[in-house]
Amino acid sequence: MQINIAKKSQAKEQDVTDEGIYRERRSILKKMGFVGASALLAGPAQADLFDIFSNKEETKFKVEPLKFKADKQTGTIKLTPEEKATHHNNFYEFGTKKSDPAENAQNFKVNPWQLRVEGAVDKPLTLDYDDLLKSLPLEERITRLRCVEAWSMVIPWIGFPLAALLNKAGVGSKGKFVKFTTLKSPTQMPGQANRFKGGGIDYPYVEGLRIDEAMHPLTMLAVGMYGKTLPPQNGAPIRLVVPWKYGFKWIKSIVKIELTERQPINSWNQLLPNEYGFYANVNPEVDHPRWSQASERLITSGGLLSRNRIPTLPFNGYGEEVAGMYKGLDLRKNF
Ligand code: MTE
């Protein structure tokens, strides 16, 4: 995974701006013209300025509004602006730069889609695109996303508990782990067609959880964010949300969920076993071999001169709910 070295462009806590104000400010800046605006805005927003003269919107992937039970925290928590959450991405199938997924994934086809639930289940299931959005009640959950590269965001996800889907399929006693696989489609995903463009990962991207982690109420399959279906760069049509684990566990564009007896080998662990483990629980006390995990850069709407470094919390702040699952496990060895 590429290193995200702290830069002068980090946002200050006081610079956190709610999305409405952020959008309004951007439209004023647009009206001001390029010079002043581009000096004030960060990379992805700069790119947007040029949209005034392009008809990019026409070819853009269409997201759709969703019906869901809103998170009670809505309005009380400062969210990462949607623009940032959808333009600063890791989705190596579409390239390794943070801006690549938003640029390269707009023609990604998510409908028709098939998600298979199989392996050690009583009743294997296949869900099509409509099933993903309609077969289980959707709820919104605002969670932190902490990337192993030491940046973080606060995002309102929409989806359902993974346990609800696994219970539909029937979890037998043989299923000790859950293996997740992303779509393999080298014609659509340039990173899969060219090993260099895809960061050296042996695709398809694979992730895994222990069965108790998978059944934990905080573990969610997300089909939307910010009130709408997921854009492709964020893992449309369905991706994993495991709030207490580093972002690389949050596998995107899933086509297969398989209950297994043996611990699956996840993609990043396979590529760099000394740097990325299976557990990947957020842990400020266990540094990455190449950088500290003690703090993180909270991505906000801050501009070039702002900075927002906050301390990283054990289990990303969800310790009360999840620490019990790891009693007796050496979290330094099982990183
Ligand atoms: N899933 C797939 N299939 N491919 C990827 O490259 N990157 C992971 C994760 N899921 C990745 C993936 C990493 S490293 C992170 S930090 C999160 O997605 C980023 O999610 P976001 O782009 O929605 O912020």
What architecture is domain 3-326? Answer: Alpha-Beta Complex (3.90)
169-179: pLDDT as tens digits: 999 899 999 99
- In sequence order, the 6+-apart residues with CB closer than 8 A to the CB of 196 are none
β pairing state of 151-161 and 295-298:
parallel
Cα 111 from Cα 195, distance rounded (Å): 27
Instruction: For the chain, report the end-to-end CA distance as a whole number of angstroms.
Output: 16
Atom 4 of ligand 1: nearest residue by CA position:
91
What H or E segment, with its residue span, contains residue 295? Answer: strand 295-298
Phi and psi at residue 5, to the nearest 5°: -70, 140
CB of 152 closer than 6 A to ligand 1?
no
Condensed to tens digits (0 to 9), the pLDDT of residues 170-223 reads: 998 999 999 999 999 999 999 999 989 999 999 999 999 999 999 999 999 999
In order of 14, 186, 231, 247, the CA distances from 108 in angstroms are 37, 11, 10, 22
pTM of the model: 0.85
Pocket test for ligand 1, best of 228, 250, 275 (most atoms within 8 A of CB): 250
Q: What's the pLDDT at 75?
A: 81
34-56 pLDDT, tens digit per residue, is 333 333 333 333 333 333 444 44
